[in-house]
Each structure stands twice: as structure tokens, then as C-alpha cells.
Amino acid sequence: MNKKQYSLIAAMCLVPSITLADFYVGLGAQYQVTPIDNIDVFDVYTSLRYNDSNVLEHYEVDFHDIYQDNSVGENLTIGCQIDQSMAVELSYFNSENHKKLDGSVYIEYNGGDPYSAQSDIETEAFKLNLVGTHKVESMNKLSLLGSVGILYQNTSITRAYVIPYACAGSCDGTEAEAERFTVRQTKNFHDTDLQLGAGLLYEVNDQFDVRGMIHVVPDGFSFGNKTPYSVNAEVLYKF
């Protein structure tokens, strides 16, 4: 044997034997809270309108309540059991939500049309976690879970609003409607952060487990100043 063959044999001895039986897949739903009310990356929109004295003045629009903080999406997991108490998991999460701006001066100024300002937020995330398991002695099928890992998340935020027509009282509705147009702005945020988690797992039988977990991102995302968190429930199938 040459040196390459000896090295290959040594590597095979050091790496634990992994078979299909060590793998599992999971599918579930995830509720995620991503605080983005304080987002300030969009331009401040200032329009013109006539006041009660028929004088043209600047009008600043407040979009602070247009962004949906919470969303529900699908979560897919592929895991590999390293030993009885440790596993490595790769997960994928996706969600989309939509919100319209209700009950604001802006809506009143646009003739009460609630769709004159709205947002669409799409979230896509990949998570690589090391998951530890500790069986509860008094309950054979129940285990405590703890996880630490890396989260990569892409968040696309689109804001759309109608710029109203600035006219005096002499304008009729047809002219005003004809002069309206929609402004659409999109920003993408790419974040890679530490993610911590805790949860419970219940062993249904030799092939199926159910679990619930809570995850937090301690450092937050680039577009918010609060701590994001998520709650998910999954069914796991073991090969």
C-alpha cells in the first residue's frame, strides 16, 4: 500500500459510520415574528395638497403601520443523527404576507381606499443547526431539545402606495382619479446570524416523532431593532 491508501483507511476509521437509518426528514408549520415597524430604508414620501384655505402645502405620509410583523410559513428539515444525543440539521423556511394600511390620515386623503398603501414581505431562510437531545427519565418517550446554529435569511420588502392628485376644490373626481399613479419600492435584506433554540420532542413510534421548538435570533436583523423569534411544530420521519 502507498501513503494515499493508508490515509484513506485512517480517515474511514476516524469518521463514524453513517447509514440511511441515521437520517430523518421533517415537515411542519412555523410562526415567525420579525419586528420591522421601525424600518427607515425607504425614502420619506412628501406629497402636495390644498388645505382648507386652498393653499398648497407639503404633506408627509406616515407608513409606520404598513408592515406585517408576523407570518406563517412552511418549514422543511433534513437531519442526521450523529449519536443518541446529538444531530445535525439543515432546514428551509418560506413565507409571504400582505398588509394594507387602515385607519390613517393617508387613507382618508385617498378617498377612504384601503388599498392605496400596502406592503408585501417575502421571507426565505436556510438554517444549519446542531441539536442536542436529553431524555426525560420519568417519561420515556419525551425529550428536551436545545439547538445552536447559523441562520441565513433573505427578506424582500415591497411598499406600494398611490400618490394622490393635488388639486383645489374646482377639480372633479374624474380628473383627480386620472392623475393618480402608484409608486412601488422594493428592498432586499440578507442576514446571517446566530440562532438559538429550545423545545420538546415526543417519540410516537420507531419511525415518527413530533416536536415543537422556539428559536430566537439574539442580535436581530439588519432592518429592525428588536429580537426576532419563531415557533414551529413538525412531524419527523426516521428512515
Cα–Cα distance measured from residue 215 to residue 231, given in angstroms and rounded to the nearest whole number:
7
In a domain, 13, yes or no: no
Tell me, yes or no, whether 33 lies in a domain. Answer: yes
User: What's the rounded mean pLDDT across residues 188-199?
Assistant: 92
Say if CB 92 and CB 76 are below 8 A apart.
Answer: yes
Residue at 9 is within a domain: no
Q: Is residue 10 part of a domain?
A: no
Domain with 41 in it: 19-238
The whole-angstrom separation of Cα 67 and Cα 121 is 8
CA quadruple 191, 196, 199, 203: dihedral sign: positive
Q: Could you write out the three-class secondary structure of the chain? A: CCHHHHHHHHHHHHCCCCCHHHEEEEEEEEEEECCCCCCCCCCCCEEEEECCCCCEEEEECCCCCCCCCEEEEEEEEEEEEEECCEEEEEEEEEEEEEEECCCCHHHHHCCCCHHHEEEEEEEEEEEEEEEEEEECCCCCCEEEEEEEEEEEEEEEEEEEEEECCCCCCCCCHHHHHHCCEEEEEEEEEEEEEEEEEEEEEEECCCCEEEEEEEEECCCCCCCCCCCCEEEEEEEEEEC
Task: Answer whether 154's CB lies under 8 Å from 190's CB.
Answer: yes
pLDDT digits (tens, 9 = 90+) for 164-180: 555 544 455 544 444 55
Question: What pLDDT does 95 receive?
Answer: 93
Any idea how long the chain is? 239
Q: For residues 133 and 223, which has the higher predicted lDDT (pLDDT)?
A: 133
Whether residue 112 is predicted with pLDDT greater than 80 in this model: the reply is no
The answer to which of 44-58, 72-86, 197-211 has the lowest mean pLDDT is: 44-58
139 inside domain: yes
**Domain harbouring 207, CATH code:** 2.40.160.20
- Examine residue 6 and state whether it is found in any structural domain, yes or no: no
**Does residue 119 belong to any structural domain of this protein?**
yes
- Is 190 domain-assigned? yes
- Burial (CB < 10 A; 0-12, 13-18, 19+), residue 82, is middle
C-alpha cell at 225: 431593532
The number of distinct structural domains making up the chain is: 1
Residue 109 near residue 161, CB atoms below 8 Å: no
pLDDT in tens, 121-155: 899 999 999 999 999 988 889 999 999 999 999 98
Bridge partners, residue 98, by sequence: 120
